[in-house]
Chain A
Amino acid sequence: DQQVKQNSPSLSVQEGRISILNCDYTNSMFDYFLWYKKYPAEGPTFLISISSIKDKNEDGRFTVFLNKSAKHLSLHIVPSQPGDSAVYFCAASAGTSGTYKYIFGTGTRLKVLA
């Protein structure tokens, strides 16, 4: 049972446009969410987080939106740059933000075209 789903395995976007990566979850107890970016031959690196008490968190070009009623979150990258081409994973956990047990999605491969 996949509790965290990224239904789009890949996405291509033109440089300068917006990239929207989606993530759905099934467990209503999840209350803290992370996005990670992974380049080939490297480990995932933390990108941005959001807790369930917020519906939006912004960090530079990256914004994460959380829709708790729909159990859906999305990552927006504006403007997209070729260096953003990577695999993006969302992850979710239940409990306080200090908990360590995260469930990861299968990832979305983003390709930003120059």
Chain B
Amino acid sequence: AQTVTQSQPEMSVQEAETVTLSCTYDTSESDYYLFWYKQPPSRQMILVIRQEAYKQQNATENRFSVNFQKAAKSFSLKISDSQLGDAAMYFCAYRSTRDDKIIFGKGTRLHILP
């Protein structure tokens, strides 16, 4: 069974600084998707970034980028120029190409310090 592990329950970063959230996963599959979701206090689940496992190039979305290391089964999220609105719970997630369910990690709560 696939698992997703986020080893940092909470992190803090100064506004305008850069922070990296860690995530590792376990799977025997070769093709899959990885995601980072943001859940602000409103509890809405917002997709931040997506990575297809077959792509070697790391995904980037504005200030958000990932470091995808397939062999190491590592998928970290880097947030550059942190803003107060980035404060939220961040979930790393996995999805096989063969079924529907998204498997989430336990989450990392990110605090932005003004």
A in complex with B: no
- Interface residues of chain B, those whose CB is within 8 Å of chain A, are none
- Interface residues of chain A, those whose CB is within 8 Å of chain B, are none
